[in-house]
Amino acid sequence: MGRSMGTFEALKGGGAAAALDEIEISILRSLAAQLLELIGPGAPEPAEDADPLAVLFAEGNEGPTEPPSDPALARLFPDAYGGPGAGPKDDPQELRARSAEFRRFTENDLRTRKREDALAVVRSLDGLTPAGDGAAVLELTGELPMRWLGALNDLRLTLAARLDITEDDESELLFRLPDDDPRKPMVMAYLWLGGLQESLIETL
């Protein structure tokens, strides 16, 4: 097959390819399906001849104004204003109001995009048939590499939230867990997804 398992490499003519075994395919598909369930529905599909601005501001097409209570969703759909980037002179109440307004008109569309990314992963994997050696080559062309990048990033954000990982304590937590720690499998998945994501970025 000539490809390193679980690592993306460039395709001639553009795109990327990776050899995946049956276990890797199963894990990726399961994680993507769980991500779809977590994200939920996005914005309703507008009519083909609909005015985009009219659709954006139409009554009933508005999203939530408050951030999600689920920590994983809060990472997938963070506030647009405030947070670590806020300055000492920024009014917290004004930042919350601006974030709520921004969220109201953007979150549904963002959910739709994230769903489409995760669905692209599931459909790509559904088309794979492992060969006699138990591996299959996943080829991503066209818009698929960017869809996969988006989904891999969302999967890592979700796992990071479930593991309560931040950038500051990531290395200490990930590399010092004992093998019998119940979080170990999720940590290994987090690291593996990071490797996939990094190799896909380098390939593109």
| pLDDT tens per residue across span 76-98 | 998 887 655 545 566 778 888 88
Q: How many CB atoms lie within 10 A of CB 104?
A: 14
163 with 190: CB under 8 angstroms?
A: yes
Rounded to whole angstroms, how far apart are CA atoms 158 and 194? 12
* 35-84 tens-digit pLDDT: 999 998 765 555 566 666 555 555 555 777 788 889 999 999 988 876 55
Quick one: tokens of 15? Answer: 């795109």
| Cut 0.85: pTM above it | no
pLDDT of residue 34: 96
Rounded to whole angstroms, how far apart are CA atoms 94 and 13? 49
Rounded to whole angstroms, how far apart are CA atoms 186 and 90? 38
Residues 6+ apart with CB under 8 A from 42: 108, 109, 110, 111, 112, 113, 114, 115
Rounded to whole angstroms, how far apart are CA atoms 28 and 128? 12
Write the single-letter amino acid at 14. G
Write the single-letter amino acid at 44. P
The DSSP result for 82-113, as a single string, is -GGG--TTS-HHHHHHHHHHHHHHHHHHHHHH
22 with 200: CB under 8 angstroms?
A: no
Query: Bigger pLDDT: 116 or 57?
Result: 116
* 137-191 tens-digit pLDDT: 999 999 999 999 999 999 999 999 998 887 655 556 666 778 888 888 888 899 8
